[in-house]
């Protein structure tokens, strides 16, 4: 299902019956609150806010865009009716064979319908919400991309970093750590005493939203990856203020410069994080001075605020698809599924064990790539890794803790980790330990393990197909 831009995507969501229109909400905590409550519902709808308090009618905010598995599949161009694990597998396979597509240059685009330059710039016109009660300010960028050009290679990085409003023409951009491509690129300009040209793109094509979250190699542009997902190159024009290539069909674009930190930094945050806490507090952050704002008529700001888990920006755990792919590339056979729960804080691998040590081999690879994840679980192939209740059943019945739980120390976490003690965090600690839980039948006697009385996934599915309507009372 191809769609041209965010507006087209919203139309497709409406056709699926998954869009709700919300009028007269307040950007001060209310839009954020409604978004969080909706995201907690079993069939979380997408929300389009209009007539936002304090803003011109038509200036809209769109949230929960890809929060359901169905809409995450739609955004990837996959069949939205696939079951979640089948959809993730389809994405894993598609991802391995994507052909990257370089954007094509165009002269004009709908995002240039309105432009404010220099002293006309006023971010106050745009409905940037105050998402959570104790946030340090309004955030215009939660689901927006930060565009920069590498001064050496010339390639374009387009990733998601949050953007806080600090004045009419001033925002901060938050790099979680100095290894972010955006942070590396900006430093190259700053080391030469120059500001870094930058643009913030909002209301972009959902394929670009997904690409902006992917861990791509340095030198690979998220623009090309988005084109590959979309199956057609992005159309970009040359930003008049920065010379950066910018998506013509975006809703709102800010252009400007990220000034060297020696000149100015501002305290950023606190901001409600995806763990459900304020763990990073306030930190000094690079400042962007905005020299131009472009937007479509009646622009739509795509908001993707972090929320308390299990809510997450994407209804399919895309990082689990990369781990699944990593396992295959590393030569680990018989993986039947990988999933992440609790907003990617827990990784589960399901496999058909073929040899002793097979499960641990998979677990160690998955643990290495589990950002902030303290729990890594391996289950047998009869357990659906996307079903947390099934995973807990496997843990409580197949894992002997004294034998099958290992702890890996000093592993990959983040300054956003709420459980790193304050003094350790202050001294720069961003690692934690990971528990690897082998919840598989022990390999040496797996054939003597008591037989399960449960229906197999295939049997249960066949029953659902035949008797589902009777059980639901719709027949
Ligand atoms: C909605 C959303 C918000 C995010 N916010 C941030 C952020 O504020 N800072 C950050 O460093 N990463 C953030 N991330 C994660 C990065 O976008 C992601 O790790 C990306 O791969 C980094 O790209 P890079 O490899 O080009 O640096 C966010 C991701 C999403 C989906
Ligand atoms: Mn990148």
> In this predicted model, what pLDDT tens digit does every residue of 417-466 receive, in sequence order?
999 999 999 999 999 999 999 999 999 999 999 999 999 989 999 999 99
**pLDDT surpassing 90 at residue 1:** no
- Average confidence (pLDDT) over 346-353: 98
The confidence score (pLDDT) of residue 277 equals 97
Q: What confidence category does residue 474 fall into, taking pLDDT thresholds of 50, 70 and 90?
A: confident
Contact 13, 211 (CB under 8 A): no
pLDDT at 373 over 80: yes
User: Using CA atoms, how far apart are residues 210 and 225, in angstroms rounded to an integer?
Assistant: 9
Closest atom of ligand 1 to 157 CA is: 26
Query: So what's the pLDDT on residue 283?
Result: 92
* Ligand 1 center from residue 395 Cα (angstroms): 32
pLDDT mean over 155-182: 97
Q: What is the 3-state secondary structure (H, E, C) of the chain?
A: CCCCCHHHHHHHHHHCCCEEEEECCCCECHHHHHHHHHHCCCCCCEEEEECCCCCCCCCEEEECCCCCHHHHHHHCCCCCCCCHHHHHHHHHHHHHCCCCCCCEECCCCHHHHEEEEHHHCCHHHCCCCECCCCCCCCEEECCCEEEEECCCCCCEEEEECCEEEEECCEEEECCCCCCCHHHHHHHHHHHCCCCEEEEEEECCCHHHHHHCCCCCCCCCCHHHHHHHHHCCCCEEEECCCCCCEEECCCCEEEEEEECCCCCCEEEECCCCCCCCCCCCCCEEEEEEEEEEEEECCCCEEEECCCCCCCCCCCCCCHHHHHHHHHHHHCCCCCEEEEEEECCCCEEEEEECCCCCCHHHHHHHHHHHCCCCCCEEEEEECCCCCCCHHHHHHHHHHHCCHHHHEEEEEEEECCCCCCCCCHHHHHCCCCEEEEEEEEECCCHHHHHHCCCCCCCCHHHHHHHHHHHHHHHHCCC
**Mean pLDDT, residues 385-403:** 98
Residues 6+ apart with CB under 8 A from 325: 92, 95, 96
Return d(Cα 99, Cα 115) in angstroms, integer.
34
Q: Is the pLDDT of residue 388 over 70?
A: yes
Which atom from ligand 1 is nearest to the alpha carbon of 214? 21
Q: Which tokens in the block code for residue 87?
A: 């959809």
Beta-strand pair 335-341/139-141: unpaired
pLDDT at position 306 over 80: yes
CA–CA distance, 147 with 193 (Å, rounded to integer): 20
Work out which ligand 1 atom sits closest to the CA atom of 177.
11
Give the percent of the chain with pLDDT over 90.
97
| Section 82-100 average pLDDT | 95
Q: Does position 181 have pLDDT exceeding 90, yes or no?
A: yes
What is the band of 281 on the pLDDT scale with cuts at 50, 70, 90? confident
- Residues of 351-371 as b/e, b for ≥16 C-beta within 10 angstroms? bebeeeebbbbbbbbbbebbe
Among the listed residues 311, 363, 309, 319, the one whose alpha carbon sits nearest the alpha carbon of residue 340: 319
Token pair listed for 384: 């659906």
71 lines ligand 1 (CB under 6 A): no
222 CA from centroid of ligand 2 (Å): 6
Mean pLDDT within 29-33: 97
Residue 2, pLDDT above cutoff 90 = no
| Residue 81 burial (CB count, 10 A) | 10
Measured from the alpha carbon of residue 182, the closest ligand is 1
The mean pLDDT of 123-131, rounded to a whole number, is 98
Instruction: Please state, in angstroms and rounded to a whole number, the distance separating the CA atoms of residues 259 and 194.
Output: 8
> Which residues partner with 258 through β-bridges?
196, 288
- Beta carbon of 319 within 6 Å of any ligand 1 atom: no
Confidence at 177, pLDDT banded by 50, 70, 90: confident
Using the mean position of ligand 2's atoms as its centre, give its distance from the Cα of residue 186 in Å.
13
How many Å lie between the centroid of ligand 1 and the Cα of residue 428?
Answer: 20
Predicted local confidence at residue 3, as pLDDT: 86
Is 294 a pocket residue for ligand 1 (Cβ < 6 Å)?
no
Q: Which residue has a Cα nearest atom 1 of ligand 1?
A: 143
Question: What is the residue-averaged pLDDT of the chain?
Answer: 97
Query: Distance from the CA of 139 to the center of ligand 1, in angstroms?
Result: 15
Position in ligand 1 atom list of the atom nearest CA 306: 1
């Amino acid at each position: 299902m191809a769609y041209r831009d965010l507006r087209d995507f919203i139309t497709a969501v409406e056709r699926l019956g998954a869009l709700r229109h919300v009028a007269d909400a307040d950007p001060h905590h209310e839009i954020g609150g409604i978004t969080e409550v909706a995201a907690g519902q079993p069939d979380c709808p997408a929300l389009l806010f209009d007539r936002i308090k304090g803003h011109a009618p038509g200036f809209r905010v769109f949230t929960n865009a890809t929060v359901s598995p169905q809409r995450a599949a739609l955004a990837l161009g996959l069949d939205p009716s696939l079951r979640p694990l089948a959809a993730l597998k389809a994405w894993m396979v598609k991802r391995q064979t994507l052909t990257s597509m370089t954007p094509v240059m165009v002269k004009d685009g709908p995002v240039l319908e309105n432009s404010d330059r220099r002293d006309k710039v006023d971010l106050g016109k745009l409905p940037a919400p105050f998402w959570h009660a104790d946030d340090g300010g309004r955030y215009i960028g939660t689901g927006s991309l930060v565009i920069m050009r590498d001064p050496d290679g010339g390639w374009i990085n387009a990733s998601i970093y949050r953007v806080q409003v600090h004045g009419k023409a001033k925002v901060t951009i938050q790099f979680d750590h100095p290894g972010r491509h955006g942070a590396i690129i900006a430093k190259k300009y700053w080391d030469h005493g120059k500001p870094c040209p930058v643009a913030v793109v909002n209301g972009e094509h959902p394929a670009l939203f997904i690409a902006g979250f992917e861990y791509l190699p340095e030198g690979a542009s998220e623009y090309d990856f988005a084109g590959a997902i979309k199956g057609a190159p992005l159309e970009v024009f040359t930003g008049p203020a920065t010379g950066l290539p910018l998506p013509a069909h975006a809703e709102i674009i800010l252009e400007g410069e990220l000034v060297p930190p020696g000149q100015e930094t501002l305290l950023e945050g606190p901001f409600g994080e995806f763990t459900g806490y304020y763990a990073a507090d306030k930190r000094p952050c690079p400042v962007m001075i905005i020299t131009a704002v472009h937007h479509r008529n009646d622009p739509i700001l795509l908001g993707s605020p972090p929320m308390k888990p299990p809510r997450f920006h994407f209804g399919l755990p895309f990082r689990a698809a990369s781990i699944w792919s990593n396992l295959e590339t590393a030569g680990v056979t018989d993986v039947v599924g990988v999933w992440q729960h609790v907003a990617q804080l827990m990784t589960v691998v399901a496999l058909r064990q073929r040899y002793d040590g097979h499960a641990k081999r998979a677990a160690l690879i998955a643990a290495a790539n589990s950002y902030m994840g303290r729990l890594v679980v391996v289950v047998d192939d009869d357990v659906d890794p996307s079903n947390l209740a099934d995973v807990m059943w496997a843990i409580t019945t197949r894992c002997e803790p004294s034998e099958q739980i290992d702890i890996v120390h000093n592993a990959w976490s983040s300054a956003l980790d709420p459980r790193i003690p304050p003094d350790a965090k202050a001294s720069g600690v961003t690692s934690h330990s990971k528990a690897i839980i082998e919840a598989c039948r022990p390999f040496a006697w797996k054939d003597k393990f008591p037989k399960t009385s449960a229906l197999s996934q295939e049997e249960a599915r066949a029953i659902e197909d035949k008797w589902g309507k009777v059980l639901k009372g719709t027949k």
